[in-house]
């Protein structure tokens, strides 16, 4: 999973190609598992792991490049 920091929140790009917004401090996620079932989902876990181990994209240019390649197929 790819995690991009966006101010106080994180944008998670799942392997299935979905995009969710995560706030690990609440914690909250915009995915169905969290919104409907109230479960702490794999996206929240992914953000926590990356917060601990590194690998979060914080650079705006890099974030745009990653999002474009995921959705448009641009390199």
Interface residues toward Zn ion, by CB under 5 A: 29, 31, 34, 41, 43
Q: Least Å distance between CB 32 and Zn ion?
A: 8
Helix (H) or strand (E) holding 28: strand 28-29
End-to-end CA distance of the chain: 18
* Residue at token pair 């109230």: 38
Nearer residue to Zn ion within complex by CB, 15 or 75: 15
Q: Least Å distance between CB 64 and Zn ion?
A: 23
Nearer residue to Zn ion within complex by CB, 65 or 67: 67
Q: Least Å distance between CB 43 and Zn ion?
A: 3
Nearest one of 64, 70, 58 to 7, comparing CA atoms: 58
């Amino acid at each position: 999973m790819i995690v991009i920091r966006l101010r106080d929140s994180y944008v998670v790009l799942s392997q299935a190609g979905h995009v969710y917004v995560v706030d690990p401090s609440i914690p909250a996620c915009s995915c169905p598992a969290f919104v409907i079932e109230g479960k702490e989902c794999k996206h929240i876990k992914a953000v926590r792991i990356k917060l601990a181990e590194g690998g979060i994209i914080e650079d705006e240019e890099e974030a745009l490049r990653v999002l474009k390649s995921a959705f448009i197929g641009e390199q």
